[in-house]
Amino acid sequence: MTPIFGGIEAGGTKFVCILAGGAEDIRAEARFPTTTPEEAIRQAVGFFRHQQAEHGELAAIGIASFGPLDLHPNSPTCGHILPTTKAGWSNTNFVGAIQQALALPIGFDTDVNAAALGEWRWGAARGLDTFIYLTIGTGIGGGGMANGHLLHGLLHPEMGHLSIPHDRGADPFAGSCPFHGDCLEGLASGPAIEKRWGQPAETLPPEHPAWALEAHYLALGLVNWIYTLSPQKVILGGGVIQQAHLFPLIRRDVQTLLGGYLQSPAILENIDDYIVPPALGERAGVLGALALAMDAA
């Protein structure tokens, strides 16, 4: 019998839970809003208990969560959500609560590292060992792999909080990051777009000047990550990137900003295959959670 696994994608607005044997073998799925930790975790546990009764015991569960997270095996608060801007969730013992309820091996990582792992196993990053996955949504987050290992380090990457040039003459918006004001997330996240232009990003037409500015900020972030990590591919996901017309703008800006310095055909000739959307689409996060479960089993 093929083993089955559970995956939880814990987002700032919603939880997605799946039960699956693999990316092509999803047996059940549930979605519910990210309310309080008690309620959301209770709903996730309820889903898995119910599904286990039908499909048999799970081999492991993977949790792909918004952060910041404590991922250090030696830390007394490993598996917790660290102090976060998401109300009510600071210091939640996420792994402990799931483990106590279900007594299964648990894999735990950031939503973006998990999505990177999912794309590596089944999607756009297959066969690569160094690449990044960015999400541009309520926040901007980044994860990925270097030399075949998911990026962790001191805490875990917080790529969205990069400092980028901000021309206040051209764009007087002060930025929306509660910590830094006009960091990349403060200038280019979905809420930043909404605050700057006074309407939700999804309602701005493609010809609106918001998009050229957005592409430029994202390109400034990208060139810094490209110089630093030398990724073999850059995958861009998240709600804002559903504006597919951003891709050609971002690619052209990245080429211009790099100024011909990086002599790689991937950038000079094949940039359409270098800066790409997730091959797993909106499922990158939850399939990433599944991949975490498979590694934990």
The item of ligand ADP, Zn ion, none sharing an interface with residue 293, based on CB under 5 to 8 Å by kind, is none
Which residue's structure tokens are 């830094």?
Answer: 180
The item of Zn ion, ligand ADP, none sharing an interface with residue 180, based on CB under 5 to 8 Å by kind, is Zn ion
State the Cα–Cα distance between residues 214 and 250, nearest whole angstrom.
9
HSE-CB for 39 with a 13 A CA cutoff: 7
The item of ligand ADP, Zn ion, none sharing an interface with residue 177, based on CB under 5 to 8 Å by kind, is Zn ion
200 contacts ligand ADP (rule: CB under 6 A): yes
Contact assessment for residue 187 and residue 165, using Cβ atoms and an 8 Å cutoff? no
238 contacts ligand ADP (rule: CB under 6 A): yes
**At 35, which amino acid appears?**
T
**At 265, which amino acid appears?**
P
Query: What residues contact 215, with CB distance under 8 A and at least 6 apart?
Result: 246, 249, 250, 253
The item of Zn ion, ligand ADP, none sharing an interface with residue 12, based on CB under 5 to 8 Å by kind, is ligand ADP
State the nearest-atom distance from the C-beta of 34 to ligand ADP, in Å: 8
Contacts made by residues 192-200, CB under 8 angstroms, sequence distance 24+: 193/240, 196/171
Contact letters (x/-) for Zn ion, 200-239, by CB under 5 A? ----------------------------------------
Contact letters (x/-) for ligand ADP, 9-48, by CB under 6 A? --xxx-----------------------------------
State the nearest-atom distance from the C-beta of 199 to Zn ion, in Å: 23
DSSP state of 272: G
Q: Binder to ligand ADP among 64, 114, 240, 284 (CB under 6 A)? A: 240
State the Cα–Cα distance between residues 147 and 131, nearest whole angstrom.
9
Chain residues binding ligand ADP by CB under 6 A are 11-13, 137-138, 190-191, 194, 200-202, 238-240, 242-243
